[in-house]
Structure formats: structure tokens, C-alpha cells
Amino acid sequence: MTRIFVVDAFAEAPFTGNPAAVVPDAARLSDAAMQGIATEMNLSEAAFLIETNGACRLRWFSPVHEVDFCGHATIATAHVLSAELGRPGPFLFETRVGALRVETSADGLVLEVPRLDPEPVPAPPAIIDEAFGADLVGVFRNFENLFVRLTDEAAVHAADPPLARLADLFPHGVCITAPGRKVDFVSRYFAPGAGIPEDPVTGSTHATLAPYWAAELGRTRLGARQLSRRGGALRCDVGADSVSIAGRAVTVLDGVLRAPCPKMRRGG
């Protein structure tokens, strides 16, 4: 049997922030088993920790495929290791985007991610203009997402893009953003092609959002909020090569999977 947790990341209380499933001992799970678990859990991402010879490899799966980069499920994994399994930090995870470090502090968990500076998009897909129209200020991108700056926080809050059309942009997701009223900037994130109609709180997008708004606002320490229905708060510090993203996490489930069946496992 396989132990599994559900953790709300970037959350001050249960049932806020972004829930992630975490399997802290996934060394014997096949790729098919990991994908099956992620599909069954039907959360934005499930995280699988594979420890070999003292090294920690972390993989993330959405309900439909393996993903390259996930911040909230990394925070959730560090929370499980520290709060549930009693292991001291800091934690270093090998991932598809390189080594990710998470430190514990009195204020929560601090995730250090590669700085992914915004890249220009000279000719955005037509659906971007159709979806955001008069509120559209500009478009930029990183390796996995398109970012759409809108006029103000109200426009981000009110946006109702056609998800079926956005799904055609897969493997890219779409993040919308604007200056915030009570925080430095706000955002929302849509990735329907990856099985995520709207992500509650997205750590990975802030690897690009934070450098963008740092340049726009002229400061490197920023407060952010994601305006999903659940909502979530993030604190970002922008460095020369990395971005530190801080937030809290709360365990909401600790259980045991009776699946996957043996034929889905590696080895005996």
C-alpha cells in the first residue's frame, strides 16, 4: 500500500490555496501508476518523491500528463516531509527544471526557483485578443506559458475566457495578470489542455511574473495574490538568477492508497 497526503499549498487555512496530492515514497511506482494516481486524485498536480542514494527526485503529474514545472506541489512535498514525517529542512529536489530548494521558516516555506524572465510575443495567437479584447495591455511568455497583462485587478477578476479555445494552445497555459489594489500584482492561470480549467494558486508562473513586475514596479520584494475562487497569497523575492516564493501549507488528508495494483509497480 502507498501512503498519500493532500496538502493545501499557499494557504493559511484548510480548503484555501491550491491542493496537491503528495506521495512521499514513490520509488516503486511505474510511470503508469503515477499517472493513474494523478488522474484519480483529479487535482491540478500530484507530486511523487523518489529517493535514491540520498538524492531526492520530484516528479509532477496533472490529471492528463506529466508536467515540467510545478511550484505548489513542491511546497506541498516539503510540508509533508517537515510537518508530517518530521524531517529537517532544507530540502533539495531534482526536477525537470533543475534543482529546487525549499527552506522552512517561522513564516512558512520558501521555494527557490529558476528566474524565468519574460520573453516578448510579437504575434500572439488570435484567441488571446478575442478572449481579453479591450482589457489587453500586452503579452509575454516563458517556455511553458503565455502571460497576458490586463488593465487592472477588476479585469483579471472578471475575466471569463473560452476554455475550449484556450485548450487549443496546449501545451501552453495562459496566465493573466495586472497591478493589484492591496498587493503588488494579481493573477489567474488557465491550462484546460492539461486538464486544469483554472488553477487555484500557481507557484511556477511566479518565476516569470515576479521578474516582470519587479521591472515594472522598480522593487524586488513583492506581494502577490491569485484571484481564483479559493485564492492564495504569495511573497516573492527576485534575485539575479532565481526567485524565492514563500507561502504556508496545511495538510487536509493523510491516507493509504489500496491501488495501484501490483502489475502497475516496478519490480516485485
Contact 242, 113 (CB under 8 A): yes
Contact 178, 184 (CB under 8 A): no
Q: Where are the beta strands (DSSP E) in 54-184?
A: 55-61, 66-67, 91-95, 98-105, 108-114, 119-120, 136-141, 145-150, 173-179
Contact 116, 211 (CB under 8 A): yes
- In whole angstroms, give the CA distance from residue 191 to residue 169: 9
Q: Which of 45, 112, 153, 198 is catalytic?
A: 45
Spatial CB neighbours of 215, under 8 Å, sequence gap ≥ 6: none
Determine whether 45 is an active site residue. Answer: yes
Nearest to 46 by CA among 25, 32, 60: 60
Query: What are the catalytic residues?
Result: 45
